[in-house]
Amino acid sequence: MSKEILVTGGAGFIGSHVTRLLLDQGFGVTVVDNLSHGNKESLDPRTKFEQVDLLDQEGLEKVLPGHDAVIHMASLIEVGESVERPIEFTQNNIVGTVSLLEAMKNTNVKKIIFSSSACVYGVPKKLPIMEDAPLGEQENPYGITKVTMEQFCMFYHRRNNFDVTILRYFNPYGPGELHQPETHAIPNFIRAALNKNPLPLFWKGEQIRDFIYIDDLVSAHILPLNLGGLHIFNVGTEVGVKVTDVIRKISEILGYEVEIEDKGERKGDVPSLVASSEKIKKELGWEAKIDLDEGLKRTIDFYRHHPSST
C-alpha cells in the first residue's frame, strides 16, 4: 500500500514540483494551502486539495488522519516584506508551524520533512558551509522565522518523538517560478532579458551563490521519508557562481546582451553562500545532477513558452 503524504504549501513553486514527483513515484498526496501565494493551477490533477490555513489547527486535525508524513513547505518567503511586516511573518511562519506540529501530535502523524533555508547560517565563517556550522545572526525577520521553525521541529522530536528531517535549501530556480512579487534573481533576470528590459542587479553582481535546479532540489524530499530520528541536510550543488556569471550565461543562451540596471546595495545580503552537500550524499545517496547551463536553458524555455509569466 502506498504511503500518504501531506504537503503544506503544495500550490507554491517548490511545493507543486515536490507534489508531482511524489505522485509520479506512487505516493498518495494531499496538498494543504491557503492560496494566499500559491496557484491552484499549479496543482497536479491527481492531488487531493484542502484549502486550509496553517493557523486553523482544527482544520488541520480534520485533514491529517491517515497520512504517514508531512512535508512542510508553507511559509511567507519574501525577505523585504518580512522587514515591513514582521508580525504577519511571525504569525504565519512560526505560529503556523507550531499549530501544524500540535495538530500532527494530536492526530499521531509524527514524521515531518521541513523546508528550511541556508539563510539560517547568517554570514558564514567559512565555505563550503557544513551542517554543523553555527547559526548566524539574522538580518531580517524571515531568517529569524526559519531558525525558530527549525527549533520547534527539533523540540517536537525531543518532546514527542517526532521523526524530523530539516532540509536547508541554497538558491533554487527553475520552470514554474511565478511569485508575485518576484524577488529571486534568476527569474527576474530571465523575464527582463526576454522583454529586453534592463536586468535589476544588486551589489554589481559580485555575490556568490549556490544555484540549485528545481528537479534536483525536489528529489531530496523523497529520500528522507524512510528516515527515523533527527536529521539536518544542506541541499546545494557545492558550486559557487558569481551573479554576474549567471547574467553572462543567460546572454549567451539568448544570443544578445542586455542592459544592466545597477540597484546598488541591498541590506541583508550575504556575500557568499556555497553548500557542502557531503552529508546528504553520504547518508541518502543524493546529489545534484543538472548544471547551471542546462538548468538555465530549461528555465528560459519555460518563460519563453509562458509569455504571461514574463
Domains observed in the chain: 4-173+210-236 (3.40.50.720), 185-207+240-276+293-309 (3.90.25.10)
Q: Where are the alpha helices (DSSP H) in the chain?
A: 13-24, 57-63, 79-84, 86-89, 96-107, 141-160, 185-194, 214-219, 243-254, 278-284, 292-305
State the pLDDT at residue 39.
85
Burial of 235 (0-12, 13-18, 19+ CB in 10 A): buried
Under 8 Å between Cβ of 114 and 165: yes
Highest mean pLDDT out of 128-142, 190-204, 264-278? 128-142
- Residue appearing with cell numbers 513553486: 13
* Residue 293, pLDDT above cutoff 80: yes
Exposed e or buried b per residue across 244-253, where buried means at least 16 C-beta atoms within 10 angstroms of its C-beta: eebbebbeee
CA-CA distance, 289 to 125, in Å (whole number)? 27
CA-CA distance, 139 to 120, in Å (whole number)? 10
Under 8 Å between Cβ of 261 and 198: yes
Cell of 96: 503556523
Under 8 Å between Cβ of 82 and 139: no
Instruction: Name every residue whose Cβ is closer than 8 Å to that of residue 64 and which is 6 or more positions away in sequence.
Output: 6, 70, 103, 104, 107, 109
State the pLDDT at residue 286.
97
Closest CA to 117 of 273, 239, 230: 273
* Residue 265, pLDDT above cutoff 70: no
Range scoring the smallest mean pLDDT among 79-93, 136-150, 200-214:
200-214
Closest CA to 180 of 76, 296, 295: 76
**For residues 255-274, average pLDDT:** 77
DSSP 252: H
State the pLDDT at residue 41.
87
Confidence band for 179, pLDDT divided at 50, 70 and 90:
low
- pTM metric for this prediction: 0.94
Q: What angle do CA 280, 284, 285 make, to 5 degrees?
A: 90
- Residue appearing with cell numbers 524512510: 226
Highest mean pLDDT out of 36-45, 130-139, 277-286? 277-286
CA-CA distance, 158 to 49, in Å (whole number)? 31
Confidence band for 200, pLDDT divided at 50, 70 and 90:
confident
Q: Tell me the catalytic residues.
A: 142
Confidence band for 1, pLDDT divided at 50, 70 and 90:
low
State the pLDDT at residue 50.
97
Longest dimension (CA), the chain: 57
* Residue 166, pLDDT above cutoff 80: yes
Question: What percent of the chain is modeled with pLDDT above 70?
Answer: 94
Under 8 Å between Cβ of 55 and 97: no
Confidence band for 310, pLDDT divided at 50, 70 and 90:
very low
Q: pLDDT tens-digit profile of 26-62?
A: 999 999 999 988 888 889 999 999 999 999 999 999 9
**For residues 68-84, average pLDDT:** 92
CA-CA distance, 245 to 251, in Å (whole number)? 10
- How does strand 4-8 pair with strand 28-32? parallel
Q: What is the mean pLDDT of the chain?
A: 92
Confidence band for 183, pLDDT divided at 50, 70 and 90:
low
Confidence band for 257, pLDDT divided at 50, 70 and 90:
confident
